[in-house]
């Protein structure tokens, strides 16, 4: 019988303040979030309107620090609720929040979200969930793929946030998991996380319709992932959700081809295999995403994390153009080939039951 590994109490992040817009309190879920935050000792500030009066210091370091300690409880507008395609992970992106409390030197949100990096959490979950059935069977990833058709229509909840990082404050991820469990449809919710506080998810009636992936990187690269849970805890958390019957996955991202990467990723896969050993009926996927950046994300990240040791030198990279003409800097072809060969061989050896969904 599979055994639960001893699990250290997760360190839960708390913001300094929660700004509550007037409309958010018209929703039961909004009132519940404000009450939870207050009970956890967060300074809850009720605003008289829906306008977020955000005034941060001119100094970029201080502005960043204050923004990261601020959560705004708002109502997702119709534009924010409109589902967007999100290849290659899933058919559709669904946002329960926007922003994240962690401090990753490579954070992909830097190129996607505008303005100071506050976190917004949404009160109007019923309106957000209302959009899901409208897109059933209409996606271009799992809905159209022979290899992934059994996943049904897929909805990715971690494009603009890490939903598990906020769960103790919001309960939104649990609500989404319950929604998918109760929805009689060929559909699946997906989320990935660099956090380990899975306790609230373990007893939910998920009915196998949510896949949690742990987003992992070798501990040697943990210095690029400030404020997240240690990788060993993320793997233990993944084992716990697998034991609770969830399908699971590993998001190995971003793969960083820094000195020593072969030994570091080899050990990471050994550790992942050990953490998932002896689980029966394991439904395990792997997603492999190499490190890349755009001129825009680099400019923001250089401001947020000056002096980071993470290599982001356009001259050391190959340049790719997207179909919309924008530029991204990726590893050169030789490095990409070496990385791919390595991961294909290591996964076949150490996690032979895993299904690789994509490489990018
Ligand atoms: Fe960005 Fe993800 Fe790190 Fe949060 S955990 S800072 S969303 S990369």
Give yes or no for residue 162 CB within 6 A of ligand 1. yes
Give yes or no for residue 310 CB within 6 A of ligand 1. no
Kindly give the number of the ligand 1 atom that is closest to the alpha carbon of 99: 7
> For the chain, how long is the longest CA-to-CA vector?
59
Q: What is the pLDDT of residue 11?
A: 73
CATH of domain 17-359: 3.80.30.30
Tell me the CA distances in angstroms from 70 to 194, 289, 360, one per residue in order. 20, 29, 33
Q: Report how far ligand 1's centroid is from the alpha carbon of 358 (Å).
A: 20
Residue nearest to atom 3 of ligand 1 (CA): 104
Pairing state between β 327-330 and 318-321:
antiparallel
What is the full per-residue pLDDT of the chain (360 aa) written as tens digits? 565 544 444 579 999 999 999 999 999 999 999 999 999 999 999 999 999 988 899 988 899 999 999 999 999 999 999 999 999 999 999 999 999 999 999 999 998 888 889 999 999 999 999 999 999 999 999 999 999 999 999 999 999 999 999 999 999 999 999 999 999 999 999 999 999 999 999 999 999 999 999 999 999 998 899 999 999 999 999 999 999 999 999 999 999 999 999 999 999 999 999 999 999 889 999 999 999 999 999 999 999 999 999 999 999 999 999 878 899 999 999 999 999 999 999 999 999 999 999 999
Residue nearest to atom 8 of ligand 1 (CA): 107
| Beta carbons of 250 and 319 less than 8 angstroms apart | no
Give yes or no for residue 253 CB within 6 A of ligand 1. no
Q: Report how far ligand 1's centroid is from the alpha carbon of 294 (Å).
A: 16
Q: What is the pLDDT of residue 3?
A: 58
Q: What is the pLDDT of residue 103?
A: 96
Two structure tokens written together for 257: 């081809």
Give yes or no for residue 19 CB within 6 A of ligand 1. no
Give yes or no for residue 289 CB within 6 A of ligand 1. no
Q: What one-character-per-residue DSSP string does 273-298 give?
A: HHHTTT-TT--EEEEEEE--B-HHHH
Kindly give the number of the ligand 1 atom that is closest to the alpha carbon of 225: 3
C-alpha to C-alpha distance for 295 and 314, rounded to whole angstroms: 8
Q: How do the domains of the chain map onto residue ranges?
A: 17-359
Residue ranges of alpha helices (H) inside the chain are 28-39, 60-68, 78-81, 125-130, 167-170, 172-182, 231-243, 261-275, 295-304, 333-350
| Beta carbons of 188 and 154 less than 8 angstroms apart | yes
C-alpha to C-alpha distance for 92 and 55, rounded to whole angstroms: 34
Q: Report how far ligand 1's centroid is from the alpha carbon of 215 (Å).
A: 10
Kindly give the number of the ligand 1 atom that is closest to the alpha carbon of 109: 1
Choice from 69, 99, 107 to test ligand 1 binding pocket (greatest atom count within 8 A of CB): 107
| Enclosing H/E stretch for 94 | none
- pTM here is 0.95
Closest CA to 272 of 249, 247, 244: 249
Choice from 68, 96, 104 to test ligand 1 binding pocket (greatest atom count within 8 A of CB): 104
Two structure tokens written together for 23: 């409309």
Give yes or no for residue 158 CB within 6 A of ligand 1. no
SS3 assignment, position 149: helix
């Amino acid at each position: 019988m599979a055994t639960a590994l001893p699990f250290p109490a997760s360190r839960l992040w708390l913001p300094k303040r929660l700004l509550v817009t007037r409309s958010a309190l018209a929703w039961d879920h909004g009132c519940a979030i404000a009450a939870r935050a207050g009970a956890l000792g967060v300074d809850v500030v009720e605003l008289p309107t829906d306008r977020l009066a955000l005034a941060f210091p001119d100094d970029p370091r201080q502005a960043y620090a204050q923004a990261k300690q601020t959560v705004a409880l708002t109502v997702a507008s119709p534009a924010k609720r409109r589902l967007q395609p999100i290849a290659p992970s899933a058919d559709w992106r669904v946002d329960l929040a926007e922003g994240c409390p962690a401090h990753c030197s490579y954070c992909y949100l830097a190129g996607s979200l505008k303005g100071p990096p506050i976190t917004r959490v949404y009160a109007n979950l019923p309106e957000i969930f209302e959009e899901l059935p409208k897109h059933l069977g209409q996606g271009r990833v799992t809905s159209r793929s022979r290899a992934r058709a059994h996943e049904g229509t897929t909805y990715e909840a971690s494009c603009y946030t890490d939903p598990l990082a906020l769960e103790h404050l919001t309960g939104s991820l649990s609500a989404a998991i319950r929604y998918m469990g109760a929805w009689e449809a060929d559909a699946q919710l997906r989320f990935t996380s660099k956090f380990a506080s899975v306790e609230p998810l373990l007893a939910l009636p998920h009915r196998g319709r949510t896949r949690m992936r742990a987003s992992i990187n070798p501990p040697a690269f943990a210095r690029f992932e400030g404020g997240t849970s240690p990788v060993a805890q993320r793997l233990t958390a993944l084992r716990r959700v697998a034991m609770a019957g969830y399908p699971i996955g590993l998001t190995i991202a971003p793969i960083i081809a820094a000195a020593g990467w072969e030994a570091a990723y080899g050990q990471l896969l050994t550790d992942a295999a050990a953490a998932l050993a002896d689980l029966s009926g394991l439904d395990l996927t792997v997603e492999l995403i190499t490190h890349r950046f755009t001129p825009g994300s680099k400019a923001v990240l250089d401001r947020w994390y000056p002096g980071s040791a993470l290599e982001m030198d356009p001259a050391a990279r190959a340049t790719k153009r997207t179909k919309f003409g924008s530029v991204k800097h990726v590893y050169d072809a030789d490095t990409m080939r070496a990385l791919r060969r390595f991961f294909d061989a290591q996964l076949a050896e150490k996690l032979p039951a895993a299904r690789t969904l994509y490489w990018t």
